[in-house]
Amino acid sequence: MKRCKLFAAFLVACLVFAGQAQARYYDDVIASGTLRIGVYRDFPPYSFLRDGQPAGVDIEIGRRIAESLGVSLDVHWITPDENLEDDLRNNVWKGHYLDKDPQNSLAPKNLADVMMRVPYDRQYAFKRESTGELVNEMVVLFGPYQRESWRVAFDSRKIDQVSTVAVFQYHPVGVEIDSLPAFYLTSAFAGRMRDNTHHFSNLPAAFEAMRRGEVDAVMGMRAEVDWQLHRAGDGRYRVGENGFPMMGKQKWDIGMAVKHSYRQLGYAVEEVVDRLVRSGQMAEIYRQYGLTYEKPGLYQETL
């Protein structure tokens, strides 16, 4: 009877481990000759397909990292889930229950070795459940490489300047639906801008509406706005110099994530990223896409 119980326990353990993605430690990555970088799908200017090939600042950064490690880049495309915790679980440490290896229905497909575009934020890193358990205990957030913020672009034929968001009491503005700018513009100043706030599926759609004359301005993440301005190449679209009172956190640092057991890989990647930032190569990558680059807070405080 004891042997039967031990054998049953062994089978349970095997099934548990079979249902988990196998770790890709630093030595495994180097031995394989490839580095799987996780980037968001259809998310210009960060990561997207151009002429059928991966492009964007995160793709370029991934290539530099892979090249420095002496391996090739393998792009792992991420389709966003309900929240960031889901994205980290599905793509970094566990895998999605529907995304299985056809050769082994119990095992998830390969996960990303490194996931890009994750908030580098101490408060988020140590966020806890109501039970006191760490939400992100299975991942390590590291390697800040960019500071992001919000930005307004406007049609100078319709608006002389945007020195304050109060102008949108009188001019229609486009935002991505369910985004922070959408909530901000519909609630700030006692909701005075609510009726002039128009919602779109994404920022490119909002910018296209501005080209058609349906809205006079758009608000979104700085890099996304810069990318649309760069693509338009039209001097009539300008950048607002306004602030966003009562909006809360208006700038945040972007970094990377690895599974908690991949720390050696994280250290190696972080060393490459640090060199890119300090040498100016990171800023050059952003300039290639017509984007404004701002160093993360860590570098602003130390350099």
Closest CA relative to residue 238, chosen from 209, 263, 217:
217
**Residue 271 and residue 134 share a domain:** yes
pLDDT(187) > 70: yes
**Residue 163 and residue 86 share a domain:** no
- Lookup: tokens for 213: 């004359």
Predicted TM-score (pTM) of this structure: 0.85
**Residue 286 and residue 221 share a domain:** no
Cα separation, 124 vs 84, in Å, equals 10
Task: Spell out where the chain has E strands.
Answer: 34-40, 48-50, 53-55, 72-78, 100-101, 104-108, 114-119, 139-155, 173-176, 197-200, 217-221, 237-239, 251-259
- Predicted pLDDT at 121: 86
- Predicted pLDDT at 302: 58
Closest CA relative to residue 256, chosen from 125, 141, 92, 147:
141
**Residue 96 and residue 234 share a domain:** no
Q: What is the DSSP track for 42-59?
A: TBTTTBEEETTEEESHHH
Q: What is the largest CA-CA distance in the chain?
A: 84
pLDDT(110) > 90: no
**Residue 45 and residue 140 share a domain:** yes
Determine which of 123-127, 225-229, 260-264 has the lowest per-residue pLDDT on average: 123-127
Determine which of 141-155, 158-172, 221-235, 241-255 has the lowest per-residue pLDDT on average: 241-255
Residue 205: pLDDT band with limits 50, 70, 90: very high
pLDDT(125) > 80: no
Residue 99: pLDDT band with limits 50, 70, 90: low
> What are phi and psi for residue 135, nearest 5 degrees?
-70, -40
Q: How many domains does the chain have?
A: 2
pLDDT(118) > 80: yes
Q: Is residue 246 part of a domain?
A: no
Cα separation, 206 vs 174, in Å, equals 5
Mean per-residue pLDDT, 72-91: 92
**Interval 33-79: pLDDT, tens:** 999 999 999 999 999 999 999 999 999 999 999 999 999 999 999 99
Higher pLDDT, 129 or 213: 213
Higher pLDDT, 276 or 25: 276
Q: Is residue 300 part of a domain?
A: no
- Predicted pLDDT at 11: 37
**Residue 277 and residue 169 share a domain:** no
- Lookup: tokens for 32: 């394989």
**Residue 16 and residue 162 share a domain:** no
pLDDT(178) > 70: yes
Mean per-residue pLDDT, 276-303: 92
**Residue 116 and residue 175 share a domain:** no
- Predicted pLDDT at 136: 76
**Residue 166 and residue 62 share a domain:** no
| CATH number of the structural domain spanning residue 174 | 3.40.190.10
pLDDT(282) > 60: yes
- Predicted pLDDT at 246: 84
Q: Is residue 1 part of a domain?
A: no
Cα separation, 124 vs 122, in Å, equals 5
**Residue 86 and residue 47 share a domain:** yes
Residue 178 sits in which domain range?
149-239
How far CA 275 is from CA of 208, 269, 271, 281, in Å, comes to 37, 10, 6, 8
Q: Is residue 248 part of a domain?
A: no
**Residue 135 and residue 34 share a domain:** yes
- Predicted pLDDT at 17: 38
The last residue of one of the domains, among 211, 239, 267, is: 239
Sign of CA dihedral 296, 300, 301, 303: positive
Number of Cβ within a 10 Å radius of residue 93: 23
Residue 286: pLDDT band with limits 50, 70, 90: very high
CB neighbours of 54 closer than 8 A, spacing ≥ 6? 39, 47, 48, 75
- Predicted pLDDT at 98: 55
- Predicted pLDDT at 60: 98
Q: Is residue 191 part of a domain?
A: yes
SS3 state of residue 133:
coil
- Predicted pLDDT at 243: 87
**Residue 193 and residue 55 share a domain:** no
**Interval 229-281: pLDDT, tens:** 999 988 899 999 888 988 888 899 999 999 999 999 999 999 999 999 999 99
